[in-house]
Amino acid sequence: MTGAPDALPDSPEGLLGRAVTGDRRSVGRLLTIVERGGELADEVTELTHDRSNDVYVVGMTGAPGSGKSTLTARLVSLLAGDGHRPAVLAVDPSSPLTGGAILGDRIRMSDGAGHDAFIRSMATRGHQGGLALAVPAAIRVFDACGFDPIIVETVGVGQVEVDIAATADTTVVVVTPGTGDAVQANKAGLLEVADVFAVNKADRPGAQDTRRDIELMLDLSHISGSEDVAGHRPAIVMTTATEGTGAPELWAEIVSHRVHLEACGELARRRAGRVRQEVRDRVDQLLATTVDRMLAEPPAEEEIAAATSGGISPAAAAARLVSQLLDLDARRRISP
């Protein structure tokens, strides 16, 4: 019973073997590997991709401090209490150094008796490919280890956050009263990605006004034809996360959106779109790596020297290098 815990296996295979039996430290180590990126991360992705298939991914986004984590914690205890094994990935694209740790600390929840939930925060750490590759890889790890659903919380309302949120099956946009939040969310492009709205801090004055603002914006987007192609009008749920009020209703709306997605075939389309985007991000990454490698080699240096001395233009040098690159055996040059 006492003494140091067992040493973790070093290999992704060994870690996954333990992670799927419920060993939380192994799950954590696998997530660290995919967060760092690189060859080991690719190995984890190879091992997990065919063990994962039908996990439900819920995005939770909205302005800083709107209550995403508090609300997420409520959903997690609700789900865990109901026999699910939820996992949370809290993503902070803007804070490469400290964001992850702070976020982790801010999600407070009782992960006690019988509750089998996993909470993990992830920052960019500046690695190659960044979050575009790490987030789907982490979702796959959770899925392979039997967690379902997965809630992805993103901080902030920039383009990166919107993109990450939009990779979910169902995206919840959290807005708060009295801050012009609904209008801000609209400006940030969140109206288009919202499948469900949570008006959180409904205990504060102006919550009903915020609800009306959203209804109005949804009416306008309907008139302009930008409403969801599948004809789904996002539900608006009033929540007070600090008290847990509205959390069951919010989950019910998330489930109802999922049912809608499945019924109209949009779930499969969204997931196919997600895979397409991930393949694209990986192509980008492979090409960037290949270009970096090529630029460090003598033929490229000659072209660059020619451009430096004014013999050829930089555009001509680049065009020659690209045609050299395309001439090469892609499988030999572009290896994962």
Ligand X SMILES: Nc1nc2c(ncn2[C@@H]2O[C@H](COP(=O)(O)OP(=O)(O)OP(=O)(O)O)[C@@H](O)[C@H]2O)c(=O)[nH]1
Residues interacting with ligand X, by CB under 6 A? 64-70, 103, 106, 155, 200-201, 203-204, 240-242
User: Which residue's CB is nearer to Mg ion, number 106 or number 282?
Assistant: 106
In the list Mg ion, ligand X, none, the entry touching 65 (Cβ below 5 to 8 angstroms by class) is: ligand X
Tokens linked to 60: 């939770």
Q: Which of the stretches 18-26, 65-73, 116-124, 203-211 binds Mg ion when contact is defined by CB under 5 A? A: 65-73
Q: Of the listed pieces 62-70, 174-182, 221-229, 235-243, which binds Mg ion according to CB under 5 A?
A: 62-70
Rounded to 10 degrees, what is the CA torsion of 246, 248, 252, 255?
120
Alpha-carbon gap, residue 66 to 257, rounded angstroms: 22
CA atoms within 13 A on the CB side of 62: 28
From Mg ion, ligand X, none, which one binds at residue 91 (CB under 5 to 8 Å depending on kind)?
Answer: none
**CB 193, min distance to ligand X, A:** 16
Closest alpha carbon to 204 in 174, 186, 179:
179
Q: Distance (Å, rounded) from C-alpha 19 to C-alpha 284? A: 30
Please, which residue, 61 or 69, has the CB nearer to Mg ion? 69
Residue bearing tokens 């196919």: 272
Minimal distance, residue 195 CB to ligand X, in Å: 18
Sheet holding 118-123: strands in order across?
Answer: 118-123, 87-92, 150-154, 57-62, 170-175, 196-199, 235-238
Residue among 102 and 306 whose Cβ is closer to Mg ion: 102
Should residue 154 be labelled a site residue for Mg ion when binding is judged by CB under 5 A?
no
- ω before 149 within 30° of 0 (cis)? yes
Binding residues for Mg ion, rule CB under 5 A, total 2
CB of 243 to ligand X, least distance (A): 7
Provide, rounded to whole angstroms, the least separation between the CB of residue 104 and Mg ion. Answer: 10
The first and second tokens of residue 34, run together, are 């995919």
The pair of three-digit structure tokens given for residue 242, joined into one six-digit string:
């600090």
Stretch that binds Mg ion, among 18-26, 61-69, 178-186, 243-251 (CB under 5 A): 61-69
Q: Please report whether residue 69 would count as binding Mg ion according to CB under 5 A.
A: yes
- Site for Mg ion contains 239 (CB under 5 A): no
What does the radius of gyration of the chain's CA atoms come to, in whole angstroms? Answer: 23
Note the residues at the interface with Mg ion (CB under 5 A): 68-69
